[in-house]
Structure 1
Amino acid sequence: MTSVVSPMIAAAAEATGLAPVVIDNCIGNYRRSLKTPAFPKPQKTKLYTRELSAYNLFCRDLLRSKGNLKDIKLKWSSLGEAEKNKYLEESSALKAEGRTQHRSPEMRELKVKKHLKNIRKTNIYVSSLEILGVETAVMLFDCQKPNLEVLEVSSKGAAAFLDSTETLSSFALHFKGRFSSASAAKEPVDALVKKVQEVFNQIYNKAGGSGRLPYRSLQNHSIIINASGLPNGLTLKKPSHYGRKQLFLKAAEQISFHIDVQSVEEAVQTCDIVVMTANGMS
Structure 2
Amino acid sequence: MPAGVPMDRFDAMQAFARVVETGSFTKAAQTLHMSRTTVTQLVQQLEARLRVRLLNRTTRQVNVTADGAAYYEHVARLLGDLDDAETSLSSFAASPRGRLRVDVPAPLARFLLVPALPGFHARYPDIQLDLGVSDRNVDLIDENVDCVIRGGVLTDPSLVARKIGDLQAALFAAPAYLDSVGVPDHPGALEAEPHRIVGYRGSRRAGVMPYVLQRGNETLTVQGRHVLAVDDGNAYLAAGVAGLGVLWLPEYVAATHAQRGELQRVLTDWTVPAMPLHIAFRPNRHVSAKLRVFIDWVADLVAAHLPIATPP
Q: 1 or 2, which has the higher helix percentage?
A: 1
TM-score in terms of structure 2 length: 0.21
Whichever of the two has the greater Rg, that structure is: 1
TM-score in terms of structure 1 length: 0.23
Q: 1 or 2, which has the higher strand percentage?
A: 2
Q: Which has the higher contact order (CA 8 A, sep 6+)?
A: 2
